[in-house]
């Protein structure tokens, strides 16, 4: 279980003053659940993920995984970034095998495991390609396999499919759901796309315009297994979309007003 308990974060701004980015955030992701964070641009979503990943320390509060405080990067946590975090000098196979190799798995075993993951993400036959020889969607698949091969208990995803066209994004989201249903990892994902959030999540957490705090949590009671491409036509989906959008749009307007009036 992942718990974010009363977490605040202050950063020093270029003018030297401390600015509060996150203010008393509390949220829980139960084992095996899919939680999506959504909020206006710049409100602090990535900072929440970076703190859970152990890359940034909270100014106040605590982050707990299975009751133990996070004090640095943790092998139980996998992070998929907005930008492709693949090694450009390694082949697809080398990229996916990198995690197991780093942990001391013998070369042959790591390569076999990587082949299996490449099959699961639909990249069999591309083992010897380099990242620059792949499409954007294929690079995301490599990044997904590269993260999932490490068997994370908690998967943190920061707008993982940004930069992809709408159709590829839907395909990738469906594939992510299929893999997640097999793996049973807890997911905390950040997205700007409310439709994507509802289609994927068990819980959508709306954050306020910065400093971010939890405004409201919505339980997404749509049946599973879901098809991201089809679920959006269900009446309950439309209802949830209206409810969450009315909550989120106030914060988006506030953030926009601040951005356009501040000196």
Ligand X SMILES: Nc1ncnc2c1ncn2[C@@H]1O[C@H](COP(=O)(O)OP(=O)(O)OP(=O)(O)O)[C@@H](O)[C@H]1O
Which ranges in 90-135 belong to alpha helices (H)?
92-102, 107-120
Q: Is 11 in the site for ligand X (CB under 6 A)?
A: yes
Cβ distance to ligand X smaller for residue 59 or 105: 59
Q: Is 144 in the site for ligand X (CB under 6 A)?
A: no
Sign of the dihedral defined by the CA atoms of residues 170, 157, 148, 67, in that order: negative
Q: Strand 214-219 vs strand 2-12: parallel, antiparallel, or unpaired?
A: unpaired
SS3 content of the chain, % helix, strand, coil (to 5): 40, 25, 35
CA–CA separation, 232 and 208 (whole Å): 25
- Each residue 173-212 as x (binds ligand X by CB under 6 A) or -, in order, gives -------------------------------------x--
Tokens of 245: 């959008």
Ranges within 20-59 binding ligand X (CB under 6 A): 21, 39, 41-47
For the bound state, the minimum distance from the C-beta of residue 39 to ligand X, rounded and expressed in Å, comes to 6
Cβ distance to ligand X smaller for residue 55 or 166: 55
Length of the chain: 263
For the bound state, the minimum distance from the C-beta of residue 165 to ligand X, rounded and expressed in Å, comes to 20
Candidates 2, 6, 37, 81; CA nearest to 202 is 37
For the bound state, the minimum distance from the C-beta of residue 24 to ligand X, rounded and expressed in Å, comes to 15
For the bound state, the minimum distance from the C-beta of residue 44 to ligand X, rounded and expressed in Å, comes to 4
Mapped onto helix, strand or coil, the DSSP state of residue 183 is: helix
For the bound state, the minimum distance from the C-beta of residue 190 to ligand X, rounded and expressed in Å, comes to 6
Ranges within 203-262 binding ligand X (CB under 6 A): 210
Q: Is 94 in the site for ligand X (CB under 6 A)?
A: no
Q: Which residues bind ligand X (CB under 6 A)?
A: 11, 21, 39, 41-47, 210
């Amino acid at each position: 279980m992942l718990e974010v308990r009363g977490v605040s974060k202050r950063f020093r701004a270029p003018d030297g003053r401390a600015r509060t980015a996150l203010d008393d955030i509390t949220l829980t992701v139960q084992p095996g659940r899919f939680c999506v964070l959504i909020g206006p641009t710049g409100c602090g979503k990535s900072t929440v993920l970076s703190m859970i990943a152990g890359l940034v320390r909270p100014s106040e509060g605590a982050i707990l995984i299975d009751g133990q405080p996070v004090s640095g990067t943790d092998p139980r946590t996998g992070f998929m970034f907005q930008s492709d975090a693949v090694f450009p000098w390694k082949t697809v196979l080398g990229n996916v095998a990198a995690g197991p190799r780093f942990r001391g798995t013998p070369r042959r075993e790591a390569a076999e495991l990587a082949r299996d993951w490449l099959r699961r993400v639909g990249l069999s036959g591309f083992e010897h390609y380099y990242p620059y020889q792949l499409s954007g969607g294929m690079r995301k698949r490599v990044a997904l396999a590269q993260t999932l091969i490490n068997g994370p208990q908690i998967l943190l995803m920061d707008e993982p499919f940004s930069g992809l066209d709408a159709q590829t994004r839907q395909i990738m989201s469906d594939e992510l759901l299929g893999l997640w249903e097999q793996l049973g990892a807890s997911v905390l994902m950040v997205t700007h796309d409310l439709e994507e959030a509802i289609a994927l999540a068990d819980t959508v957490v709306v954050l306020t315009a910065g400093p971010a705090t939890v405004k409201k949590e919505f339980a997404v009671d749509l049946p599973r297994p879901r098809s991201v491409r089809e679920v959006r036509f269900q009446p309950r989906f439309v209802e949830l979309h209206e409810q969450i959008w009315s909550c989120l749009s106030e914060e988006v307007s506030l953030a926009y007003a601040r951005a356009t009036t501040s000196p």
